[in-house]
Structure 1
Amino acid sequence: MIKHDKQKCREFFGWDENERVCLLMGGGEGLLPMAEIIAALQRAALKNLRVVAVTGHNEALAAQLQAKYGATAEIYGFREDVPQLMAGADMIITKAGGLTSAEVLASGLDLLIYKPLPGQEEGNAAFLQQYCGEDSTGLVDIGGVTYRIVDIGMRMLQPHELYRAQGFPEWYIIDQDFRGVKYAKDKQVARCGNAVPPPFAEALVRANLPELCQSKEIAA
Structure 2
Amino acid sequence: MRAAEALCRHAADFGGAAETIHLDVMDFVPRAFRKLYTDFYIGLVNKAPALWGYLYQLTHETRPDGSIERLRRAVERLNTTALRREIDRVRPDAIICTHFLPAELLSRMIRQERLACKVWVQVTDFDLHRLWVQEGMAGYFAANQEVAWRMQACGIAPERIHVTGIPIMPAFAAPPERSACARELGIDAGKTTFLVIGGGAGLGSLDTMAARLLALDGDFQLIALAGKNARALASLQALAARYPGRLFPQGFTDKVERMMACADLVITKPGGLTTSECLALGLPMIVNAPIPGQEERNADFLLEQGAALKAVDGVALEYRIKLLLEHPERLAQMRSKAAALGRPLAGRHVLERVLAAD
TM-score (norm. length: structure 1) = 0.56
Partner of 2:72: none
Equivalent residues of 1:92, 1:109 under 8 A apart: yes
Provide the rounded CA distance (Å) in 1 between the counterparts of 2:229 and 2:183. Answer: 27
Partner of 2:328: none
Equivalent residues of 1:91, 1:111 under 8 A apart: yes
CA offsets per residue over residues 23-46 of structure 1, 9 Å max, x none?
11129xxx9721221111122132
Q: Out of 197, 202, 227, which is 1:56 matched to?
A: 227
Partner of 2:205: 33
CA offsets per residue over residues 42-80 of structure 1, 9 Å max, x none?
221322x11111111111211122223344211111012
Partner of 1:7: 179
Q: Out of 23, 41, 45, which is 2:195 matched to?
A: 23
Q: Out of 344, 352, 358, which is 1:152 matched to?
A: 344
Partner of 2:269: 95
The higher radius of gyration belongs to: 2
User: Mapping of 1:39-50 within 5 angstroms?
Assistant: 39-47=211-219, 49-50=220-221
TM-score (norm. length: structure 2) = 0.36
Deviation of the 1:119 alpha carbon: 1.5
Q: Out of 69, 82, 85, which is 2:240 matched to?
A: 69
Provide the rounded CA distance (Å) in 2 between the counterparts of 1:46 and 1:150. Answer: 29
Query: CA, structure 1 residues 137+96, in 2 after alignment: closer, same or farther (shift >3 Å)?
Result: closer
Q: Out of 96, 108, 115, which is 2:282 matched to?
A: 108
Equivalent residues of 2:282, 2:342 under 8 A apart: no
1:128 to 2:302 alignment:
yes
Query: CA, structure 1 residues 126+82, in 2 after alignment: closer, same or farther (shift >3 Å)?
Result: same
Partner of 1:189: none
Provide the rounded CA distance (Å) in 2 between the counterparts of 1:112 and 1:137. Answer: 14
CA offsets per residue over residues 127-183 of structure 1, 9 Å max, x none?
112236358989xxxxxxxxx9542268xx7xxx9xx99xxxxxxxxxxxxxxxxxx
Deviation of the 1:20 alpha carbon: 1.1
The two structures, once aligned, show a CA RMSD in angstroms of 3.1
SS in 2 for 1:53: strand
Partner of 1:179: none
User: Mapping of 1:179-190 within 5 angstroms?
Assistant: none
Equivalent residues of 1:25, 1:32 under 8 A apart: no
* Long gaps (5+) in structure 2: 1-172, 308-332, 352-358
* Long gaps (5+) in structure 1: 139-147, 166-220
Provide the rounded CA distance (Å) in 1 between the counterparts of 2:184 and 2:211. Answer: 26
